[in-house]
Amino acid sequence: MSLSMLLALGYPLGGFIGMCGYLPFQADLDEAIIDEETEKDEYDPFANSDTDDESKSKAKDPAFKTLIFERDLLSLPPVSSPTRSNTAQATPIFLGHGDVDEKVPYKLGEAAARTLRAAGYEVAWNLYQNQGHWYKIPEEIDDIVDFIQTRAGWAVSQE
């Protein structure tokens, strides 16, 4: 659910860390971000010809489609005048998952990473061998610290 909240935000965060999770309605979001223009007949007499090129471009942008989909899903009001700066797309994302997770299969986490990348998000996906539904010490924690330092740009004390 926290990934859905991230995607619905009207602003970026410094970073997002997810462990052993999944993206609710991931398959529906995949469908929502497919370029619908390829499916439409360009000679559609009912198409809105008054729409300017910038609006058309925004309507095709996977980040905007993601924002619209998630805000609608969560019954949040739409973001007025969407721009890249009022989506969470600039938020770097770390997703870690154990390959023997008995509660949330890692394939769901992997699918979430794939969908987020298709929506234009920067995602660090890490699969940990012989790890269940927990975090792996020290590998995953080290990867999170590295992510915080390199992708999120936060200083971390080495003490």
To the question of pTM greater than 0.85 for the whole model, the response is no
> Over the chain, what is the mean pLDDT?
85
Q: State pLDDT tens for residues 22-64.
A: 999 999 999 998 865 444 445 555 555 554 455 455 567 898 8
* Assigned domain for 59 exists: yes
Instruction: Give the length of the chain.
Output: 159
* Assigned domain for 81 exists: yes
Neighbour count for residue 67 (Cβ, 10 Å): 24
* Assigned domain for 45 exists: no
Number of domains in the chain: 1
pLDDT for position 36 = 54
* Assigned domain for 44 exists: no
Q: What tokens appear for 122 in the block?
A: 């920067």
* Helices within the chain (DSSP H only): 2-8, 26-33, 53-60, 62-73, 106-118, 139-150
Q: Where residue 129 sits, what CATH number does that domain have?
A: 3.40.50.1820
Query: Which residues span the domain enclosing 103?
Result: 2-38+51-150
Q: What tokens appear for 37 in the block?
A: 């223009």
* Assigned domain for 17 exists: yes
Residue 25's region, left for phi above 0, alpha for psi from -120 to 50, else beta, is left
* Assigned domain for 142 exists: yes
Place of tokens 């003490």: 159
CA distances from 124 to 43, 76, 94, 133, 149 (A): 41, 28, 5, 19, 13
pLDDT for position 38 = 45
140 has pLDDT over 90: yes
Q: What tokens appear for 136 in the block?
A: 């792996």
* Assigned domain for 60 exists: yes
User: What band does 69 get if pLDDT is binned at 50, 70 and 90?
Assistant: very high
* Assigned domain for 83 exists: yes
Q: For residues 23 and 26, what is the distance between their CA atoms, to the nearest angstrom? A: 5
Q: Is 129 exposed, middle or buried (0-12, 13-18, 19+ CB in 10 A)?
A: exposed
Q: For residues 92 and 124, what is the distance between their CA atoms, to the nearest angstrom? A: 8
Least confident of 21-25, 80-84, 132-136: 80-84
Specify the 3-state DSSP secondary structure of 80: coil
